[in-house]
Structure 1
Amino acid sequence: MRTSILKSLKPDIIVEMLDMAYAFENWSKVMERADMLYQCVQCIHEERQEHRTKGLPLPYIHTERPLIYYHGFSLQMRGVAHQKMGQVDQARACIIRYAELAWIEELDEAGMQVVQEFRHRAQVNRYALEIEVGHAEMLEEYVNILLEHPEECIAGLRTIVEAAVRYRWQIDRVLHMFASQDQVVGRQIDSSKKGNMYHYCYHRALYEQCMGRQKKAVEFILQALRLADELEMNRYFKKCVALLESLRECATEEQVGRYRAFLEEIG
């Protein structure tokens, strides 16, 4: 992309575009937007370095966060896209890169905090990646990290339950550890976490179905159904309805009643 075009772009706008592509799970678009953000940030950084070398005032560009954040975020999202497309080695390479961002010069206190934030993200995401590709031996360490950082629990539980369904793991003990600390499904959930919570509930329903606990599976698919409606994601909603209908004969009358009432509510 030409430098003149990159200079006209705003990092925060590209982040919004990235978030939208991520929400729709359009991984090729996520990759494209991540590369655009990376190039944009590089262009800004190089221009500042040039001005600094010449002793000129640094050009002002309004951003909501320190510039280093956008550099790290572009690498993180590129890694996510590689991971979702099954390109594990490339995903690992991206994690290594945003784990160490301190090479950028002239970082102030806010910049150094961002460096620490991405170092932590890299640690969590490294474990998540290995769990996703089936390395069950790393599950205990990953769980310990999640217990130490409750803000990561929803995304982490999504990763664990999805892997359990894919690889036929038995993870009741892990789930009990989180349930005992009331960290699994909260009554109030931040809107930014609803996507992860939907996937957790949907795959938890699949897990409970595999374990032969059909009524419990219905409970989780009912939660996933409501989240799919809140997210306004029609394909998520259809998947929930299909799974719930397959479990209807095992559901209690009370569960079927809640299901019907919900459909009437949104109808």
Structure 2
Amino acid sequence: MEITPTIRAEIERYLKQKSLSMTQFGNITSLNVGTVSSIITGNRSLSVNQLDRITMGMNLPPDYFYERFVEECVEESPLNWRRVKPFVYRCVELGRLDCLQRAVSMFLDSPIYTHSLFELAEDLFHKGYRDTAAYLYENVAVSERKQHSERLALCQYRLFSIRIGKDQAQNLQAAAKFEPFVDRLDEVDQLDAFKDLANVYRSLSMWDKVYKFSCQMYKLGQVQYDLVHNSKKETELKNKLRSGPLFAYIAYAELMCAHACDAKGSHKQALEHIQGYADLSWVKENDDESLYWKNQFQQWAKINTYVNGLMSGDISVLSDYVEYISGEQHIFNELLNIVEAANKYNIDVDHILHRFEPKIASYKEPSPVEPFLLQQQARFWYKLAKYSLNKGRYPYGFKCLIKALEKSVTINHVLLIANCVGLFFDFKTHAAPEVQTQFQSIYREVWKSNDKKDSFNLNNS
């Protein structure tokens, strides 16, 4: 078995091969001759900055020595976070998560480094290195698992935020795991956490959960609003809020409660919540940002009043609603309401769908990904398939249904997938052979994928 030479041995061998003196090599690497000599003789510990200069001077890839640096300068040396921290950042920059994990693992068993690791995770999270931050948060959470600490709760909140994406089954799992920790956060983080949980559960159509967390956001927002206007906390709180001014959280909670009530068929109760965020005369702030949010909620109240009437069976609001939504960016959200009402009350909306056809065709998915909007797209195609199939437009109806199934599979929305399959079997006798083959092929892939996951869980339970 070949023994890998040490970093120092490789430097020394390089100097001999190139017939370079320590002074010459020092000039190449911008290190003084004393430093080069001390590194080669082992009388001086090697920093990552010095290592990078040496590596560049030897015309090697930047991370060429990183595995050996971990072994020689981290694992075989006394713990020194100040020396290892710059190396960790370089690992992040160069994508060497393997070296970062080996280096960080040395500090995980010592509680005195928990705060340092958490601060590193926070910095990386806010700089966008979410996967690396997740590794650190997970390990900090393990070290804090027996503590009912705010830091543990914040780790779980960050992990929840990182895990939210297109996969709705994964989103549900992430939300369920985070829920027990939300009450341990400080008040400001709680407001954002309640909002985020409500949004995730809205994308999952879990309306009782949406209502629950929206109510909690509303109550906490009111308490904080009263405190702010009776103390000197306003500036401090304003700097921490992520989603607009404090009153916007209260209004948004009303909006989400209205969504939940409408979805559950409680249209009268929904209208009360709509009126709750339509009237913001109690808001004391009058700056530009506050005026923007007041106007935004008034616009939302107007459009959602139309939706509320439509879902209640008041078809007279349809034309006004259509005119109002003509400038909306996320058109699937609004057209879904129209098609849903059409299916529910047997309304012909062909002229409306034709009007918005170019906008549907040119629609681009939002970036970053918004789970709720992705779900609304899938639901729109499913409802449109149902509308078309009920009208006897079988080729177009099945085209919409296949699109709905594909989008439901992409976001792994179990309920929508089941609905698509159920609708397909209701109209299967009208499907052309190639349509049946295509639909069954997509569903077979879903079955195979979930069967593998189920086998894995059984084998590891």
TM-score range, shorter chain: 0.7 to 0.9
Structure 2 unmatched runs, 5+: 1-182, 449-461
Alignment of structure 1 residues 18-57 onto 2, 5 Å: 18-51=198-231, 56=232
Contact 2:227 2:233 in 1 (8 A): no
Alignment of structure 1 residues 195-214 onto 2, 5 Å: 195-214=375-394
Contact 2:225 2:247 in 1 (8 A): no
Which residue of 2 is the match for residue 66 of structure 1? 245
Contact 1:204 1:220 in 2 (8 A): yes
* TM-score, with length taken from structure 2: 0.52
Residue 241 of structure 1: CA displacement?
1.7
Could you tell me how far apart the structure 2 residues matched to 1:27 and 1:264 are?
30
Deviations 1:88-146 (A, max 9, x none): 22211211121122431133211111111111101110101111111111111111111
Which residue among 94, 97, 103 is the counterpart of 2:282? 103
Bigger relative contact order, structure 1 or 2 (CA pairs below 8 A, ≥6 apart): 1
Based on CA coordinates, which of the two structures has the bigger radius of gyration? 2
Could you tell me how far apart the structure 2 residues matched to 1:244 and 1:4 are?
46
Could you tell me how far apart the structure 2 residues matched to 1:199 and 1:57 are?
43
Deviations 1:135-176 (A, max 9, x none): 1111111111111x2325211110110111111111111111
Residue 8 of structure 1: CA displacement?
7.0
Contact 1:102 1:115 in 2 (8 A): no
Could you tell me how far apart the structure 1 residues matched to 2:322 and 2:285 are?
36
Which residue of 1 is the match for residue 442 of structure 2? 262
Could you tell me how far apart the structure 2 residues matched to 1:222 and 1:75 are?
36
Q: Which amino acid aligns with 2:425?
A: E
Contact 1:6 1:40 in 2 (8 A): no
Alignment of structure 1 residues 109-124 onto 2, 5 Å: 109-124=288-303
Which residue of 2 is the match for residue 251 of structure 1? 431
Counterpart check, 1:183 vs 2:359: yes
Which residue among 168, 171, 185 is the counterpart of 2:346? 168
CA 1:185/1:224 → structure 2, altered by over 3 Å: closer, same or farther? Answer: farther
* TM-score, with length taken from structure 1: 0.88
Contact 1:214 1:251 in 2 (8 A): yes
Could you tell me how far apart the structure 2 residues matched to 1:170 and 1:184 are?
19
Residue 188 of structure 1: CA displacement?
3.0
| Higher mean C-alpha deviation, range 223-232 or range 3-12 | 3-12
Which residue of 1 is the match for residue 257 of structure 2? 78
CA 1:176/1:8 → structure 2, altered by over 3 Å: closer, same or farther? Answer: closer
CA 1:141/1:57 → structure 2, altered by over 3 Å: closer, same or farther? Answer: closer
Could you tell me how far apart the structure 1 residues matched to 2:410 and 2:262 are?
27
CA 1:262/1:194 → structure 2, altered by over 3 Å: closer, same or farther? Answer: same
Which residue of 2 is the match for residue 154 of structure 1? 332
Deviations 1:225-249 (A, max 9, x none): 0111122111211211222233333
| Higher mean C-alpha deviation, range 188-197 or range 135-144 | 188-197
Which residue among 395, 410, 419 is the counterpart of 1:215? 395
Could you tell me how far apart the structure 1 residues matched to 2:328 and 2:185 are?
41
Could you tell me how far apart the structure 2 residues matched to 1:125 and 1:77 are?
11
Structure 1 unmatched runs, 5+: none
Q: Which amino acid aligns with 1:121?
A: W
Residue 57 of structure 1: CA displacement?
5.4
Could you tell me how far apart the structure 2 residues matched to 1:259 and 1:36 are?
42
CA 1:156/1:187 → structure 2, altered by over 3 Å: closer, same or farther? Answer: closer
Could you tell me how far apart the structure 2 residues matched to 1:229 and 1:250 are?
23
Which residue of 2 is the match for residue 231 of structure 1? 411
CA 1:8/1:113 → structure 2, altered by over 3 Å: closer, same or farther? Answer: closer
Contact 2:342 2:387 in 1 (8 A): yes
Percent identity of the aligned residues?
Answer: 21
Q: Which amino acid aligns with 2:385?
A: A
Could you tell me how far apart the structure 2 residues matched to 1:92 and 1:57 are?
34
Could you tell me how far apart the structure 2 residues matched to 1:60 and 1:4 are?
20
Contact 1:6 1:39 in 2 (8 A): no
Deviations 1:170-202 (A, max 9, x none): 1111111111xx122546323431111111111
Residue 75 of structure 1: CA displacement?
0.6
Q: Which amino acid aligns with 2:324?
A: I
Q: Which amino acid aligns with 1:155?
A: N
Could you tell me how far apart the structure 1 residues matched to 2:363 and 2:235 are?
46
Contact 2:342 2:349 in 1 (8 A): yes
SS at 1:151 equivalent: coil
Q: Which amino acid aligns with 1:124?
A: I
